[in-house]
């Protein structure tokens, strides 16, 4: 019997690094860092690595029209 792989939910989805968040938002990594440092985007530091919940990135993108992902060609 094959057990289906569960679909990731906001609670079980793996956290993203700054690069992945920037790719999703179609912005430079500096923009993500500034949003974190400015308290506009929540992030967690695990050792020397910064991790961000994908749900937080999606909420930040929806609240900032300039950071919305584009379809088609990458910027």
pLDDT of amino acid 20: 97
The reply to whether 63 falls in a domain is: yes
Tens digit of each residue's pLDDT (9 = 90 or more) over 14-26: 999 999 999 999 9
Q: Is residue 44 situated within a structural domain?
A: yes
What pLDDT, on a 0 to 100 scale, did the predictor assign at position 74?
Answer: 52
Q: How many domains does the chain have?
A: 1
Predicted local distance difference test score (pLDDT) of residue 4:
60
Rounded to 10 degrees, what is the CA torsion of 61, 65, 69, 71? 150
Output the pLDDT for position 8: 56
d(CA 24, CA 27): 8
- State mean pLDDT over 2-13: 63
* Structural tokens at position 43: 């992030």
Nearest-angstrom CA–CA distance, 8 and 14: 8
In a domain, residue 35? The reply is: yes
Nearest to 53 by CA among 5, 17, 7, 8: 17
Q: What is the pTM of this model?
A: 0.71
Instruction: Please tell me the predicted confidence (pLDDT) of residue 12.
Output: 72
Per the structure, the complete domain to which residue 48 belongs is given by 18-67
């Amino acid at each position: 019997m094959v057990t289906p792989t569960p679909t990731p939910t906001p609670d079980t989805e793996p956290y993203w690094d700054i690069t992945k968040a920037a790719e999703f938002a179609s912005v430079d990594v500096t923009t993500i860092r500034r949003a974190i440092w400015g308290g506009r985007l929540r992030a967690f530091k695990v050792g020397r690595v910064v991790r961000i919940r994908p749900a937080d990135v999606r909420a930040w993108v929806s609240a900032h029209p300039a950071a919305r992902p584009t379809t088609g060609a990458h910027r």
